[in-house]
Amino acid sequence: MKKGIHPDYHEIKVVMTDGTEYTTRSTLGKPGAVLKLEVDPKTHPAWTGVHRLLGSGGQLSKFQSRFKGLGGKQ
């Protein structure tokens, strides 16, 4: 590695949404910086498998309501 061209790689503290903490290495901020997550694997639906359903319906129902008067089956 060439000297002086790479960012400083140091330890920071990561705080999850439930308050748990762990230490990792990153180029974020200065040594000892704290990264507070707003979304993490414990809360995001992509990882938890729990999805909110929208009351207004899905994309298909929106499409059908928008174009209900145009040709096709009635």
- The Cα 17–Cα 48 span in angstroms is 14
pLDDT at 54: 55
What fold does the segment set 1-38 form as a domain? Rhinovirus 14, subunit 4 (4.10.80)
pTM, two decimal places = 0.55
Query: Could you read off the pLDDT of 3-54 as tens digits, one per residue?
Result: 889 888 999 999 998 899 999 999 999 999 999 988 887 777 776 776 655 5
Q: Which phi-psi region, left, alpha or beta, contains residue 19 (left: φ > 0; alpha: ψ -120 to 50)?
A: left
- The Cα 38–Cα 24 span in angstroms is 17
Burial class of residue 28, CB neighbours in 10 A (0-12, 13-18, 19+):
middle
C-alpha distances in angstroms, 70 versus 18, 66, 67?
50, 9, 6
Going by pLDDT thresholds of 50, 70 and 90, the confidence category of residue 57 is: low
Which tops the pLDDT comparison, 74 or 4? 4
